Structure 1
Amino acid sequence: MKTPNAWTMSDASAHPVLLLVSRRAKAGHEAEFEWLMAEFIHAAEAFPGCLGAQLVHPGDEEDVEDTLYHALMAFKDAQSLDVWQKSAERSAGLASIEPYLEGPAVMRGISGLAHWFQAPAGVKQTQPPRWKVALVTWLGIFPTVYLLFLELGEVLAPWPLLPRIFLLTMLVVIIMTWGVAPQLTRLLKPWLFPSAKPSVHKGPERP
């Protein structure tokens, strides 16, 4: 039996997946939470199948009023994520962090680039074709990577190759997920979802 927090998608079992977990730390215990989360992420990164993990602090996004911490974790496939979610390392880490948390966890699994481009709220529509997703993804990633190289190229030049790639790709994922992709979706909505129509609530059918 899968754990309640496990997230898998049968149609994406062979593709990399992202797990986004949002939590709020208890007031006055932010330092303890951040220290324990650093240990938790370190354990996750050492786990087989984990491609990387990052903690996004409140205020790192445009909404400065947000008090949530966001843990973004990438795994090579859904099976690797499921193994991590059932592991003793994860259970021990969560148990140590729990006393410093307030409210329930909000977990969201993301598989593939198409989940960057969701139909607007209140609209019934399937995902756009893969070629449109690929084109819009490139339109977002190209300037994002270019600007990151301009801003960080000299700073990261002395770094070894692997840490440099890890940091740049993690920044690209974060910027795309919370910044660029939502803006592109809003701008290109008529092209991405040409047949999208607001859903109309229908009353119960007569027998």
Structure 2
Amino acid sequence: MSIANLDKPSGAVTVLVTRRVKVGHEAAFEQASSDMTAAASAFPGYLGGQLVHPDEEGSGDEPHLYHVVFAFDNAEHLQGWQQSPTRSLGLAAIAPHIEGQTVRQVSGLGHWFAAPVGPKQNPPPRWKVAVVTWLGICPTVFVLFLLLGPLLAPWPLLPRVMLLTALVVLAMTWLVAPQLTQLLKPWLYPATRSTT
């Protein structure tokens, strides 16, 4: 899957990259991936990244599948990284250690608030975006804590946070935010009055 629709910067962008690592190449891949993350961190707008290892206990499904999650503050800065010679060198260093196709997925808050199709409209002010985002995240987190809190209580803190935030992002991206932005569209994009 290629990364697309990055020509309109609109807030923080998160990228999930999935790669299948060749057996016996794990250490070399992890080092090359770490080097690439370090290189990306020097680029404008880089917010952070993490290499997610396969389950050490092994579920039996995808034992050699690695994920890299990283974020930039906007799509323009992400595009700058993606088009850089530094990234090309990093990909070349990783290539000998992987097999199959690399899968990339991009998500971000910005596309939730894309202007409706029709006459040109300005995007909503940031304070409105913040209010709508909070209105979605607060109840989503509350419900997830109610449903999963007892089950996840024995887990260490970091895995709990990672799972809950991943579920919040999924719920917000495909369920909560689209419904909220549709419901609050008149408030987010008030009709402009004619001055003629």
TM-score range, shorter chain: 0.5 to 0.7
Gaps of 5+ in 2: 113-128, 181-196
Q: Give the Cα separation in 1 of the matches to 2:58 and 2:6.
A: 30
Letter aligned with residue 138 of structure 2: W
- Residue in structure 2 matched with residue 84 of structure 1 by the alignment: 81
Distance 1:61 1:8, change over 3 A: farther
- Asked if 2 retains the 8 angstrom alpha-carbon contact of 1:7 and 1:78, the reply is no
Q: Give the Cα separation in 1 of the matches to 2:15 and 2:138.
A: 22
SS in 2 for 1:7: coil
Distance 1:185 1:82, change over 3 A: closer
| Matched-pair identity in % | 36
Aligned pairs for 1:166-177 (under 5 A) are 172=161, 175-177=164-166
- Residue in structure 2 matched with residue 45 of structure 1 by the alignment: 41
| Alignment RMSD (CA, Å) | 4.1
- Residue in structure 1 matched with residue 30 of structure 2 by the alignment: 34
- Residue in structure 1 matched with residue 95 of structure 2 by the alignment: 98
C-alpha displacement of 1:45: 1.4
Distance 1:78 1:185, change over 3 A: closer
Distance 1:96 1:88, change over 3 A: same
- Residue in structure 2 matched with residue 125 of structure 1 by the alignment: none
What do residues 96-136 of structure 1 show as CA deviations (whole Å, max 9, x unaligned)?
Answer: 11000011011111021877xxxxxxxxxxxxxx8776434
C-alpha displacement of 1:88: 1.1
Q: How many residues matched? A: 153
SS in 1 for 2:51: strand
What do residues 1-56 of structure 1 show as CA deviations (whole Å, max 9, x unaligned)?
Answer: xxx94433455x13110011100100111111111111111111122111111111
The two structures have a TM-score, normalised by structure 1, of 0.58
SS in 2 for 1:103: strand
- Residue in structure 1 matched with residue 50 of structure 2 by the alignment: 54
SS in 2 for 1:89: helix
Gaps of 5+ in 1: 116-129, 153-167, 194-207
- Residue in structure 1 matched with residue 194 of structure 2 by the alignment: none
